[in-house]
Amino acid sequence: MTKREINPFDYAADIFKAMPRGILLTSEAEDCANAMTIGWGTLGIEWGVPIFAAYVRESRFTWELLERTGEFTICVPYGENYSAQVVNKAIGICGSMSGRDLDKFIKAGLHVVDADIVRPPAIREFPLTLECRVVFEQVQPVKKISSRFKKFYPTAEDDTQDPHVAFYGEILKSYIIED
């Protein structure tokens, strides 16, 4: 297995095409790794560096791990060397079960690959990988979100209803895992 380094911006269309169906964010702390399905994210440049911004609710186990270590990977299905059946199963499990209760990698049949710079692993079945370190985080105040998007916070009367936190991760390394 090799990791072919890439420029993440050359693969932006692939990342954004996969995101509505789901991509995986991995986190790890104290030898507990977790994967969470995300469907929202932003790829861009801030402060002169490449950034991936991921949005995670404060109630999620992933949020706890991110708060402890400030590192994550973004793992995207890419190319022809992955199984759509495995990817769909993983997206379902990682988007509906908590890593507090089980090892989602085992449950989904995923194979972890050591990352090169950060602690959270990459995933062989989601080979397009961005290794990120959090450089900024911001709670998204629910009461300031446009009424058009209130459907994501149906019971929100104020900012107490489990807001998302935007984690801005500097992309330290990006690659495609190849067999």
* pLDDT of 107: 96
d(CA 130, CA 35): 14
State pLDDT tens for residues 123-175.
999 999 999 999 999 998 777 776 776 677 666 555 556 788 999 999 999 99
Over residues 105-116, the pLDDT tens digits come to 999 999 999 999
The full set of domains in the chain, from first to last, is 2-174 (2.30.110.10)
**Is the dihedral angle over the CA atoms 78, 34, 140, 136 positive or is it negative?**
negative
> What is the amino acid identity at position 11?
Y
DSSP structure class, residue 150: G
Residue range 23-33: mean pLDDT, rounded: 94
Q: Who has greater pLDDT, 101 or 19?
A: 19
Query: Judging by beta carbons within 10 Å of its beta carbon (0-12, 13-18, 19+), is residue 169 exposed, middle or buried?
Result: buried
Give the distance from CA 172 to its chain's centroid.
Answer: 15
- The pLDDT tens digits of the residues spanning 66-96 come to 999 999 999 999 987 678 899 999 999 999 9
Question: Quick one: pLDDT at residue 157?
Answer: 58
Q: Which two tokens stand for residue 81?
A: 């060397």
